[in-house]
Amino acid sequence: METPERVISFTEDERQALYGMTVLDKIDGRRVWKRLYFDGAQRTERVGSLFAALRRWEGELLSGKTQEKNKWAYERYFTVKTTPKLGLKVTRNQEAINAYKNDQAGYWVILSDCEKDAKAALEAYRERALVESQFDDMKKDLAMSRVHAREPNVTRGRAFAQFLSLILTARIRGVMASA
């Protein structure tokens, strides 16, 4: 994955490179593009987060104060044994830790049937995520979750005006980002 021809650069600093590759596949008889991405900086951050969580989860197991929400982690990353002489023994599952580090941390996939180029697909995905985030913000900031109007036309008009403001805001942010 980490080869010069797969570098997708979004900044002048090539050391912050993102790697991407595209694979054509078929799912349910339809042609789809699978885009696999790898970000080394994200991998470092995720592995660090895993190691901090492993220490916390191991402490929970040793203290006997386990949490139901972490049961999956205990089962995946630890082996717990209790013996009459040694008592409770918690061992880390190094295979599972290495599998996460080598096969999951820093990787993600975008699947679609339209865009072939990995960089263009990622740009479209990021733009879409930005618009969705802005739309959520608009609903929260402008109280769109509850519209207090008796007339349906007032509600439609308000939603339309807010949608236009969202489009303008997205365009302004796009122009500012490219400048």
C-beta separation of 25 from 111 below 8 A: no
Query: Is residue 5, in this structure, part of any structural domain at all?
Result: yes
Q: What confidence score (pLDDT) does residue 51 get? A: 95
Q: Quote the domain boundaries for residue 101.
A: 1-114
How many other CB atoms are there within 10 angstroms of residue 13's CB atom? Answer: 8
151 within domain boundaries:
no
Mean pLDDT calculated for residue range 32-48: 87
Each residue of 113-138: pLDDT tens digit? 776 677 777 777 777 777 777 777 66
Span 82-106, pLDDT tens digits: 888 888 888 999 999 999 998 888 8
**According to the model, what pLDDT value does residue 109 have?**
83
142 in a structural domain: no
For the chain, what is the domain count?
A: 1
